Amino acid sequence: TSLAREAAAVGRALEAGDVAAARARLPHLCGRDPQALDADGVARAVVESVAENTSDAVVGALVWGAVAGVPGLLGFRAVNTLDAMVGHKPPRYRRYGWASARLDDLAGWPGARLTAVLTTVAGGDPRGAARAWRADAARHPSPNAGPVEASFAGALGVRLGGTLSYGGRVEHRPVLNGAAGRPVRAGSGDIDRAVRLSRRVSWLALGVCAGARLLARGIVRKGRTS
């Protein structure tokens, strides 16, 4: 709910032409340097954050909840939060942050793949999502954000990735869906479409994970009674 709310708030500010308000709200979603972004850059950051957080904050938690119940769900969120807090902190927290980031990569692997699959199913362009996932996911520096952002880019028909700034450090990331997508534009409805896709993926993930949990329980009970 908060993911959709914050993304929509930035989108409304951009539609109103208030880039300063959109920049001020962006840190509620991601850790990028908002002052380094123009209106289109803010919109792209929001779409990328919606995609990545659909996996990290929703689908990944549901997967671990299906595997290990409430302890699994809370454990995954703890790992993910730890990575967000110290996973990208050089150089003082380099060793601690490195361990947190690698643990998050491991815990997030199944949720990211399920998110990409469901994005391909629920998006407006299944072929485009699958093509972008296959062609570009491995080029992303994150093993989990790559499939998620690439599939979102293909499903929405936009380009994601490129130059961004974190804590004064500029990164040049590969462009995802660059051959078939168009740039994300402020005020074009791209943020709203990303939020709607995120919601569809989240509901599908809830159904899949709840069904898997119930099926596993049924198999265990059947094994005990046989």
Band of pLDDT at residue 97, cut at 50, 70 and 90: confident
pLDDT value at position 81? 86
**In whole angstroms, how far apart are CA 100 and each of 40, 83, 113?**
32, 5, 20
The whole model's pTM is what? Answer: 0.91
Residue 179: name the closest of 154, 203, 210, 162 by CA: 154
Can you tell me the distance from the alpha carbon of 74 to that of 82, in angstroms, rounded to the nearest whole number?
12
Residue 94 has pLDDT above 90, yes or no: no
How many whole angstroms separate alpha carbon 159 and alpha carbon 149? 10
E strand intervals along 20-69: none
Q: What is the pLDDT of residue 93?
A: 64
Residue 75 has pLDDT above 80, yes or no: yes
What count of Cα atoms within 13 Å lies in the side-chain half-sphere of residue 160?
33
- pLDDT value at 179 more than 70: yes
pLDDT band at 52, cuts 50/70/90? very high
Q: What is the rounded CA–CA span in Å between residue 211 and residue 214?
A: 5
